[in-house]
Amino acid sequence: MAPPAVLMVGTGEYTTGFVAGSASTSDKKVGVVGLTLFDLRRRGKVSDLSMVGTSGSKFPAIRDHLSKNITNVYNNLDTTFTSYPSDDRTDPDAYKSAIKALPKGSAITIFTPDSTHYPIAKYAIERGIHVMITKPATQLLAHHLELLDLSRKHGVYVYIEHHKRFDPAYTDAKYRSKNLGDFNYWYSYMSQPKSQLSTFKAWAGKDSDISYYLNSHHIDICAWIVGALGWVPQTVRASASEGIAEGVGCVKGTEDTITLLVDWIHPEKPGKRATGIYTASWTAPQNAGVHSQQHFHYIASQGEVNVNQAKRGYEVVADQSDSAADSGNKWINPFYMRYAPDEEGNFGGQAGYGYVSFEKFVDGVTGVNEGRVTLEELDKRGLPTLGNTIVTTAILEAGRRSLDGKGTAVDIVRDGGKWDLK
């Protein structure tokens, strides 16, 4: 069977590294999605590639950007793709035409604002197309559960791009946590600089918040670690700071930093309780040395784990760079995406956990298409499937409800196999 064709939905920073008419000033100057899929095509794991946005007029500049920064850097790596809509059109529903053009067994990647994940994913699933969704899967628990039911009905693989599950430190921490006793306390923090509010200005504070966008990482990691030990979330309360984002042009009420406080219980261990605190901000300083501060502290009854992903012992200092964002003192994380070419001049970042996340999805799609693996078997492998990320969506929506209710407590209820919020 031929490798799957893949449609990239969304043309922004994460897909192409191209933002507001030029290369991103973040650590994703050439993107992640496009570069990874172009290389997977070189390796024969995917076939035809396409890309869809809302404005076709962006594509000539995107093609030029990809040619200059990928083709000319990595041994003439092929960056060609079919685009939707045409260069002279603007069409917010162009994804529908692009999905309809895909052959059976194809896949899409959704890297678009959070509020659009559900309708795009639903449209693809109902047409038998496999789906990767950037985190969060959806903003509402009900939508998450509906997509899960639809994916089973149509026999397609739906995978959430929680790449932190493939970070070697986080994976090892999960393995070691099994022997540390009962879950007791978790604290995590993740941030991005204020410049990202310009990148996300079309939706920041209007259609989604920083908890959905960044807290989703560590909420998923915590749920992945302690869920395997039998722990379930019970109650969520949220608090937020405001004022900075509004000062850089975001809509009134945009939260700067959001903290969720989650009570966890173990159904088989009455009297045992644990606390999870998850904080995310998109108003960090511009010159913090890293694009994302990200770390967690896990305490159990017989030990603890501390992981600081931002500072991996690799530091680069530059007097001056082509980009002001690269000047000064920077802590580099090549374990996510390593952009340096290999000894033959090809892209050499296949071991990065950002790349691995995509390859796991593509391999799952191929396995399902060829009948070598079932959706249930993929769930059992602990991959970030829809079925394995329900708790993450439940906590995120509960947090949003709590914020909207001025900090009121929101309960997460599981009755048999059904999840709900009260």
Cα–Cα dist 262/68, whole Å: 46
* Structure tokens that stand for 194 in this block: 């204020």
- Model pLDDT, residue 25: 65
Residue pair 276/299 in contact (Cβ under 8 Å)? The answer is no
Instruction: Give the pLDDT score at 300.
Output: 98
CB atoms within 10 A of CB 323: 12
- pLDDT of 140: 98
Q: In what order do the strands lie in the sheet with 255-265?
A: 303-308, 294-300, 183-193, 273-284, 255-265, 232-242, 410-415, 418-421
Q: Which CATH class is domain 6-164+355-384?
A: alpha beta
Spatial distance between the Cα atoms of 192 and 214, rounded to a whole number of angstroms: 9
3-state helix, strand, coil in the chain (%, to 5): 35, 25, 40
Residue 373 clears pLDDT 80, i.e. is over it: yes
Q: Which pLDDT tens digit goes with each residue over 376-417? A: 999 999 999 999 999 999 999 999 999 999 999 999 999 887
pLDDT band at 184 (very low <50, low <70, confident <90, very high): very high
DSSP label at residue 146: H
pLDDT of residue 322: 59
Q: What mean pLDDT is predicted for residues 350-366?
A: 98
Domain residue limits, the chain: 6-164+355-384, 168-334+391-421
DSSP 8-state symbol, 85:
S
* CB within 8 Å of 9: residues ≥ 6 apart: 52, 95, 98, 108, 109, 110, 111, 112, 120
Using DSSP bridges, classify how beta strands 328-331 and 315-318 pair: parallel, antiparallel or unpaired.
Answer: antiparallel
* pLDDT score recorded for residue 399: 98
**Neighbouring C-alpha atoms within 13 Å toward the C-beta of 182:** 15
CA distance 196 to 422: 33
Structure tokens, 404: 């909207």
What does pLDDT average to over the chain? Answer: 93
Share of the chain above pLDDT 70, in %: 97
What does the pLDDT look like over 192-235, one tens digit per residue? 888 788 778 778 877 899 999 999 999 999 999 999 999 999 99
pLDDT of residue 206: 78
Query: Is 168-334+391-421 CATH 3.40.250.10?
Result: no
Sheet of strand 6-9: strand arrangement: 82-84, 49-52, 6-9, 107-110, 130-134, 158-161
User: In this structure, what are the phi and psi dihedrals at residue 19, rounded to the nearest 5 degrees?
Assistant: -135, 130
Q: Which of 4-8, 313-317, 413-417 has the highest mean pLDDT?
A: 4-8
Judged on CB neighbours under 10 Å (0-12, 13-18, 19+), 396 is buried
Checking if the pLDDT of 254 tops 70, the result is: yes
Q: Kindly state the average pLDDT of the residues 250-267.
A: 94
How many helices (H) and strands (E) in the chain?
14, 18
**Facing residues of 258 across strands?**
240, 280
Confidence band, pLDDT 50/70/90 cuts, at residue 110 = very high
